[in-house]
Structure 1
Amino acid sequence: MLRKKASKQQIRLLKTIVFNTCLIPFLLIIWDGFNDLLGADPIKTLHVRTGDWALRFLLITLLMSPLQRAFNVSLPIRFRRMFGLFAFFYASLHLAVWLVLDQSLRVEHMLEDIPESPYIMLGLLAYLMLIPLAITSTKGMMRRLGKRWVELHRSLYLIAVMGVVHFFWLTKLDDTEPFIYAVLLAVLLLFRYLTNKKINKL
């Protein structure tokens, strides 16, 4: 019993550490904002940094299942929900920067920009697809939806693909970073494909 309790305490402590670590990029953004360290174009800097972290947490979320299968341990899955919600959090910040700072909440500006910028439409669609995943991320919703929950959350792979394409379209000069994300996502997708193929053969 004591051993089991200690294990729960360790997991709780680890979750607290991971949670606080995931907040560091946000705190750094706040710090840089208050200290005028966002560069010559603060809005662009906020766009890039929040978008980067949204995509990074998407990929980290997708990495948890391969880690579980590769090392045959359940610990990574315990953090999948947290990473997924942080992906949604940074994606929400990314959207808020565009809505509030870039567009000043003016609908007429948005209606002008969206048709001329395919990457905006793709980003908005990806964000809208993230919302039901965030809402249904609780254990209660997992029990209620059953197999439908699994099918719904598989869309995270498609959302990640859309996020990478969004980044490619947004980047005008150096495609190195979005290319790295594309390679990482391709590896994750390949691992999932090979794993499912192996399971189907059993």
Structure 2
Amino acid sequence: MTAAQTINGALRKLPIWPIYLIGALPPVWYFYLGLTGGLGVEPIKEFEHRLGILGLQMLIAVLAVTPLRNLTKVSLIRFRRAMGLLTFYYIAAHLAVWLFLDVQIAAQIWADIVKRPYITIGMVGFVLMIPLAITSNNLSVRKLGARWRKLHKLVYPIALLGAVHFVMLRKGWQIEPLLYLAGIALLLALRLPILRRVGWPMRPARQG
């Protein structure tokens, strides 16, 4: 038995519900830090930023599941749904902080969405996430069939939009957002058909 088989055997024994439980805690912790002065002199901005970064990091983790399996044979496929839903949770919380704690004024919110490209891009990415979150269940997989896979390929443009949103938000060419953009671009590039033609071991992945 290979190391990958041993790891996969252990992973199959792990329940999925603790991922949801543990994954739900970071926003709560950040909120507590904000109330107790642990987020610096601009707690709302920092709270908003941390949630956005957390969502982007989880999105990268979701994209990395298939390349990880193809490179190492270690499979996290059965955890990918939970990871995707947590991504939506973090980004929705990020948006909620911006709407209800940061801007607050409805007219200003709409003006920002229309006039600020980085906010427009971020909103488009969030809207595209909604059908993925709604259909992340076994019933939708059965009802939609092959269309479900096509729908969930929206995660690719969503990831790019999230990374571009971060780059534009920071203004200028700062290293951190560019690294996120480069990481997402690499994970997407690994899925290109040309790599399959030269032997990249891509296989259809099952949702679990």
- Same fold, TM-score > 0.5, yes or no: yes
Shift of 1:195: 5.0
Tell me what 1:44 maps to: 45
Change (3 A) 1:72 1:28: same
Shift of 1:22: 2.5
Change (3 A) 1:195 1:150: farther
Tell me what 1:101 maps to: 101
Change (3 A) 1:175 1:199: closer
SS across alignment from 2:185 = helix
Change (3 A) 1:83 1:25: same
Partners of 1:7 and 1:25 in 2: CA distance: 26
RCO (CA 8 Å, sep 6+): is it higher in 1 or 2? 2
With structure 1 as the length reference, what TM-score do the two structures score? 0.85
Over the aligned positions, Cα root-mean-square deviation in angstroms equals 2.3
Change (3 A) 1:196 1:143: farther
Tell me what 2:149 maps to: 150
**What residue ranges of structure 2 are gaps of 5+ in the alignment?**
1-8, 202-208
Partners of 1:176 and 1:196 in 2: CA distance: 31
Tell me what 2:125 maps to: 126
Shift of 1:87: 0.6
Shift of 1:181: 0.8
Change (3 A) 1:58 1:7: closer
Tell me if structure 2 keeps the 8 A contact 1:64–1:79: no
Tell me what 1:63 maps to: 64
- Give the helix-richer structure, 1 or 2: 1
The residue type paired with residue 11 of structure 1 is L
Taking every aligned residue pair, what percent have the same amino acid on both sides? Answer: 36
